Amino acid sequence: MIDNERFERALDALELEEPHPRLRSRILASTVYRATPLAPAWEIWSVGTLLALAVWSLLWVLDGAGSSALLIAARRLTGIFSTEAMMWLAVGAAATVWIAFFSSSNRTPTTLAQ
């Protein structure tokens, strides 16, 4: 078996090349000092798509072609906020919270019992 002194002498005897002069700064720049994105790419694409649809809809309504369609859409949207729809929305939200609470990774049956 090799002891620590022999191992250290063997390591010191190795002829190693000098690293690239900017190696440390390049490693730090690509890891620790890397600029974090403002938001994930899918969120940026989603917001951009929604903004484009909003601008398109606004121009469509201002052009006059969408005024009657806007009234029809407004009448249909009022049906979404009926009492029955709100009840089912509340049931779905409660079920989502309930499932998310019990499926989180740090919860186990032993931590729930305590």
Please list the ranges in the chain whose pLDDT falls under 50: 108-109, 111-114
What is the model's pLDDT at position 105?
A: 53
Cβ contact 32:24 at 8 Å: no
pLDDT in tens, 69-96: 767 777 777 777 778 878 888 898 888 8
Which pTM does this prediction carry?
0.35
How far is residue 63 CA from its own chain's centroid? 37
What is the model's pLDDT at position 67?
A: 64
Three-state DSSP at 55 gives: helix
Instruction: Put residue 35 in one of left, alpha, beta given phi > 0 → left and psi -120 to 50 → alpha.
Output: beta
